[in-house]
Every structure is written in C-alpha cells, then in structure tokens.
Structure 1
Amino acid sequence: MNNEVQQFKAEFFKALAHPMRIRILEVLSEGEKTVNEIQTILGSEGSAVSQQLAVLRSKNVVSSVKEGTSVIYSLRDPLIKELLAVAKQIFDKQLVSAISMLEDMRKN
C-alpha cells in the first residue's frame, strides 16, 4: 500500500515537472480559463498548450468542461494554488541563499 502511495505522489510531481505546465497552473490559479485565453496569456502556440493541458488532465491535476465550442479549464483541487505558493517560497529561499553565497565568494 505504501509503495502505491509513493508511486501516486511521484506521478503527480511528474505532471508538474515542466515549465509550461507550471505556468498553466499559475494561470489557472487565478481562475478558470479557455484554451485560447491560456494561449494568449502564455504567448504560446495552441498545440503546445493543448499538449501540456492533456498531460495535466490525464494526471487529474486540472479539469475541463466543454461549453459550446470552447473548453474551459480549472484546477481540480484549489490546494494546488497553495502548493505553488509554497514551492515559490522554497525557491525564493534557495535563491537568496545562492545569491548570498555568491556575494561571499566575491568578497574573498
């Protein structure tokens, strides 16, 4: 059972392991969007965005609803927004540490 949980977690984090997918999740953290809206915000071509959305959808990270000719995407779980915020805090701390280390190296 524990191995299955670890595998599930690994698959979840694999779904996040792409810069465009992270950016899509950040955009969806602000609210639901159509594919065209996501493409415009990212300044990326449709096929690339659609491909990454398909990965996120297959891993149950985002959900989609078809309305007329549009598909509207949203975060499946609002906690993903918090996960991204915590990840940014961790990144910021690591960045501050790296900058501090580089400044120390320049002084020596």
Structure 2
Amino acid sequence: MKERISLLKSEILKALAHPTRVNILESLRGGERCVCEIIAELDIEQSNVSQHLAVLKKLDIVSFYKDGLKVIYRVKHPQVFEILDLLDDVLVMQVEDTLSVLTGLKRN
C-alpha cells in the first residue's frame, strides 16, 4: 500500500514538473477559465494547451465542463496552489542561501 501511495504522489509531482503545466495552473489560480483564455494568456498553441490539460485531467488535478462550445477548466483541489506556494518558498530560500554564500566570497 505504501508503495502505491508513493507511486501516486510521484505521478502528481511529474504532472507538476512541466513549466507549461505550472503556468496553466497559475492561470487557473484566479478561478475557472476557458481554454481560449488560457491560450491567450500563455501565448501557446491550442494543441499544446490541450495536451497539457489532458495530463492534468488524467491525474484529477483539474476538472472541466462545457458551456456551449467553450470548455471551462478549474483546479479541482485548491491545495495544488499550496504546493506551488511551497515551491516558491523553497526557491526563495535557495536564492537566500546562494546570496549568503556569495556575500561570504566578497573581497574586501
């Protein structure tokens, strides 16, 4: 059972490991959006957005519904944004660590 849970976690992390998918999720942070809005905001091809949304849908990270001809997406579990926020925190700490090391290298 533990192995299965680890596998499921790694699948979610793999889905989050692509910059386009992270950008799509950040686009959805403000609420649900149609594919056309995501395409316009990220300035990438519709087919590319669709492929990445399919990965996120498969792992149940996003959900969608149809509104006429539009397909509207939303993040299914807002905790995904907490993961992204934690990654931001880690990045800030890494930069701070690097700056600390570089400051120590300054010559007088």
State the TM-score, normalizing by the size of structure 2: 0.92
User: Aligned partner of 1:59: which letter?
Assistant: L
The equivalent of 2:20 in structure 1 is 20
Deviation of the 1:107 alpha carbon: 3.2
The equivalent of 2:51 in structure 1 is 51
User: Aligned partner of 1:14: which letter?
Assistant: K
1:32-63 deviations in whole A, cap 9, x for unaligned?
Answer: 00111001111111111111111111111111
Q: How does 1:14-93 map to 2 (within 5 A)?
A: 14-93=14-93
Deviation of the 1:31 alpha carbon: 0.6
State the TM-score, normalizing by the size of structure 1: 0.92
Q: Partners of 2:101 and 2:45 in 1: how far apart?
A: 39
- Over aligned residues, Cα RMSD in angstroms? 1.4
> Which structure 2 segments of 5+ residues have no match?
none
Q: Partners of 2:107 and 2:46 in 1: how far apart?
A: 48
SS in structure 2 of the partner of residue 71 of structure 1: strand
The equivalent of 1:3 in structure 2 is 3
- What is the percentage of aligned positions where both structures have the same residue? 40
